[in-house]
Structure 1
Amino acid sequence: MDHVHTKQEIGHVRISNEVVATIAGLAATEVAGVTAMSGGIGGGIAEILGRKNLTKGVKVEVGEKEAAVDLNIVVDFGSRIPEVAKRVQENVKRSIESMTGLAVVEVNVHIQGVHFPTQEPKEDDRVK
C-alpha cells in the first residue's frame, strides 16, 4: 500500500492512497447531479449514493507532495454534464488539498452513464 510521507519534528505522518481515494469519492458524491460512482467500463455501477464503497470508480496517484485523481461517475438525467463535472473537479480538489495538504495537479472526470429516474405510473394511467 502506498502512502504519503511527511517528516515532522517528532515523527512521520503517513496518508494512504485509500484515504485520498475515499476523500475524493465522498467529495464527488456530494455534488448535485452525481447519481453514483462507477467501477469504470468493465465494472458495474456502485450502489446509488451508497456510502459502502466510496473508492469504487476512483483512482489516485499520490506522490510526496502532489496527487492526481481519476473519477468514473454516473450523472442524473437532465443535469448539465459539463457543469456537474466542473463542480466535481472543484470539490474534489478543494477537499483533498484542505484535508491532506497535497497539491492536486489534476482531477479527471469520466462520465460512465446517465441515470434515468424510475417513474411510478399515475393512478389515471393504469389500465382499469
Structure 2
Amino acid sequence: MADEIVHSVPQETPADKTSLGRIEVAPEVIEVIAGIATTEVDGISKTRGNFATGVVEKFGKKVHGKGIKTEWTEEGLVVDVYCFVQYGVSVAKVAKQVQTHIREAIVNMTSHQTKEVNVHITGILFDQSDMKN
C-alpha cells in the first residue's frame, strides 16, 4: 500500500518567539472542505460518489468528500468536482459559483491556493413533484 502524501503548511511564528511547529493537512481534509463548499451552492443537487460511499451513506453516515478528487502537482493543488445540478439552473453560473466557493473555503481554512478547480457536471436531476403531473 502506497503512503499518502501529507502536505505541511508552515505556521507563522510571531516576532521574538520560537517556532511552534508545523500544521499538517491530510488530503482527505481538503476533499471534505471542497465537498461542503460544493453542497452549499444553490443549484447543486448532490455530488457523485462511488459504490463504497453509497454503502456508507446507506448506514446513515454523511460522506462530505464524496465526488471530490484532489491532486498535488508541482504547480499547486488541483481539485476535481463531480456533481449533479438541478433542472432549470444555468450550468455555467452554478459551475462558476462552485469554483469560487471551493477556492475561498480552501484558502480560508488552510491558507493553500488552488491551481485549478475543475467542475464536472455528471447529470441533471429533475424535481420529482413535477414528474407526477
Aligned-CA RMSD value: 2.7
- Which one-letter code corresponds to 2:77 in the other structure? A
Question: Normalising by the residue count of structure 2, what TM-score does the alignment of the two structures yield?
Answer: 0.77
- Which one-letter code corresponds to 1:17 in the other structure? P
Matching of residues 35-50 of structure 1 within 5 Å: 35-39=45-49, 43=50
Deviations 1:30-58 (A, max 9, x none): 0000000013xxx46967xx981111110
Determine which of 115, 121, 124 is the counterpart of 1:114: 124
Determine which of 43, 56, 63 is the counterpart of 1:53: 63
Equivalents in 2 of 1:121, 1:74: separation in Å?
Answer: 18
Deviations 1:60-112 (A, max 9, x none): 11369931100000000001000000000000001001110001111000000
2:75–2:115: 8 Å Cα contact kept in structure 1?
no
- The reply to whether residue 4 of structure 1 matches residue 7 of structure 2 is yes
Provide structure 1 residue ranges, at least 5 long, that are not aligned to the other structure. Answer: none
- Going from structure 1 to structure 2, the CA distance change for 1:5 and 1:30 (only over 3 Å counts) comes to same
- The reply to whether residue 94 of structure 1 matches residue 104 of structure 2 is yes
Percentage of matched positions with identical amino acids: 36
More helix by share: 2
Question: Normalising by the residue count of structure 1, what TM-score does the alignment of the two structures yield?
Answer: 0.80
More strand by share: 1
Equivalents in 1 of 2:44, 2:61: separation in Å?
Answer: 14
Equivalents in 1 of 2:109, 2:8: separation in Å?
Answer: 15
Provide structure 2 residue ranges, at least 5 long, that are not aligned to the other structure. Answer: 12-18
Q: How many residues align?
A: 118
Where do 4+ consecutive residues of structure 1 move more than 2 Å? 43-47, 62-66
